[in-house]
Amino acid sequence: MAMKVEWLRGCATALVTPFLADGSIDEPSLRKLVDYQIDGGVRLLIPCGTTGESATTSEAEDQRIIKIVLEQAKGRAKVIAGTGSNSTHSAVQYTRDAAQLGCDGALVVVPYYNKPTQAGVIEHFKAVAAAAPTLPIILYNVPGRTACNMLCATTLQLAREVKNIVAIKEASGDMGQIGNILRNRPEGFAVFSGDDAMTLPLMALGADGVVSVASNEAPKYMSELCNLCLKGEWESARRLHFKLLPLMEVNFIESSPGPVKAAMAMLGIMQEHLRLPLVPPTPATREKLKSVLAELGLVK
């Protein structure tokens, strides 16, 4: 029988990682970000994911980031660490570390660059789950970044066969694929949108929430959108979705998290520093960000 995780629903924020000008972790700003999320109603926090620039952070930095988020959350929100890697050996170790640090779950991306077969994907996730058998594991399918799509049949096999694989963040953009996961998933297996703009349509089909980028900037709005969907208040949810759609779109007109980090600086929550090869967004993107944030009442 699959592990039951009652709290795995609603808005989860894929946290950005604040850096200082010298490239080091900006701990005070990270703590400020955690409080901003919790004050905005977000109860699921995901450090060290794609939005956190995990491709550029070291294992030691990841552990420090996770510890800070856990300390600052103080049990007020669940912490789900990004522990994926294209090396199964590394993903196993990162996931085991997350469990030992006291995380509530792990978000594990499909192995990138290697382009494994579906059989390889299955064995990868089975090895990761076995390394921390009491830790809830959330699969993460994002073929636009990994060059490997995890098929519906693969997701369902892992959901049925591995007790602590309890959810998926689906960012394939394939409504047919995600719909079939929702249609055939075992009881208790949660499905999260991996794209902000797909939150409403997927939750209308029965998805449980979103792993959001936009909630970095607008936690109150994104948590409310999910709450409206979970309550079946679709007319209000549609109005809020359309209100948020410009923000959801502007965050990705350049490589994420460039735009969202610029926005967070405009909100006064952190400095705008990225690690190469990411670079700050263009002046045109900044103007669009300012306009969208002002329309939402987040900046003057």
Q: How far apart are CA 111 and CA 144, in angstroms?
A: 12
Q: How confident is the model at residue 300 (pLDDT cuts 50, 70, 90)?
A: confident
How much is the average pLDDT of 31-38? 98
Residue 2 pLDDT more than 80? Answer: no
How much is the average pLDDT of 41-60? 97
* Tens-digit pLDDT profile for residues 101-138: 999 999 999 999 999 999 999 999 999 999 999 999 99
pLDDT at 1: 64
How much is the average pLDDT of 284-289? 97
H or E segment to which residue 212 belongs: strand 209-212
* Tens-digit pLDDT profile for residues 79-96: 999 999 999 999 999 999
Radius of gyration of the CA atoms of the chain, in A: 18
DSSP state of 195: S
pLDDT at 194: 98
How much is the average pLDDT of 276-281? 96
- Domain ranges in the chain are 10-234
Q: How confident is the model at residue 25 (pLDDT cuts 50, 70, 90)?
A: very high
Helix (H, G, I), strand (E, B) or coil at 227: helix
- Active site amino acids: 140, 169
Nearest C-alpha neighbor of 14 from the set 284, 221, 196, 175: 196
Q: How far apart are CA 166 and CA 125, in angstroms?
A: 12
Nearest C-alpha neighbor of 98 from the set 51, 149, 64: 64
Neighbour tally for 198: CB within 10 Å: 20
How much is the average pLDDT of 219-233? 98
- Provide the CB-side half-sphere exposure for 154 (13 A, CA): 22
Q: Chain-wide mean pLDDT for the chain?
A: 97
Give yes or no for a contact between 260 and 16, defined as CB atoms under 8 angstroms apart. yes
Percent of the chain with pLDDT over 70: 100
Quick one: 10-234 is in which CATH superfamily? Answer: Aldolase class I (3.20.20.70)
Six-digit token string for 161: 């066969």
* Tens-digit pLDDT profile for residues 139-189: 999 999 999 999 999 999 999 999 999 999 999 999 999 999 999 999 999
